[in-house]
Amino acid sequence: MQAKEIVKRVSALAEPICAQAGVQLWDVEFEKEGGQYMLIVTIDRDEGVNIDHCETVSRALDPLLDAREFSSMPPYTLCVSSAGLERRLKKPAHFEKFLGSTVEVKFYKPIDGAKTVQGVLTAYEDGYVTIEIDGQRRVYEPQDIAAVRLTIEF
C-alpha cells in the first residue's frame, strides 16, 4: 500500500473518532524518519488539545489499524499529537481558517534572494498563497512553496 493510500484510509478512520473525542482531524502523515516509519495523526480543537484528547484518539484508532487492510504496511509508530501553535498549513480549510494571521512561507529555492518570507496571509486559491509584507501583497506559486506555517509573535 502506497503512503498516499495509507493516509487516505487512516484519515477516513480517524475522522469519526476525532469527532467523537471532540476534536478535529488536522492532518495525517505517513513518512520515514531515520530508519523508522511514523504514522502521525494531528488533531486540533479551538480550545486547545491536551494529552487526554491525544490518548483517546490513539486508543480508539490503534486497534482499527490492526485490520487486514493495513497488514501490508511496514512496521510503524503511531503518534497522535496537537497541531501546535506554529502549525503547518496544508489544506485549503487550514488557509481559510487562518486568513489574516502571520505566516512563514518556505521555498524550495530562494525567491528574490530569500528562502523564507514572513507576512500576513491575505488569500489562498488553488495553491497560490498571497501574503502582505510591509504593505505590499505578494503571490507565491504552489510549485515554489515547500511549507507554510503559522508564526506566533510574543
Q: Model confidence over 50-100: pLDDT tens digits?
A: 999 999 999 999 999 988 878 888 889 999 999 998 999 999 999 999 999
Identify the pLDDT of residue 70.
83
Q: Copy the grid coordinates of residue 24.
A: 478535529
Mean pLDDT of 136-140: 96
**pLDDT given at position 71:** 82
pLDDT digits (tens, 9 = 90+) for 18-38: 999 999 999 999 999 888 999
- Measure the CA–CA gap between 42 and 23, rounded to whole angstroms: 10
Predicted pLDDT of residue 120: 96
d(CA 70, CA 118): 40
Report how far residue 74's alpha carbon sits from residue 23's, in angstroms, rounded to the nearest whole number: 28
Residue 23: predicted pLDDT = 97
Q: Would you state the pLDDT for residue 87? A: 93
According to the model, what pLDDT value does residue 78 have? 94
Mean pLDDT over each residue of the chain, to the nearest integer: 93
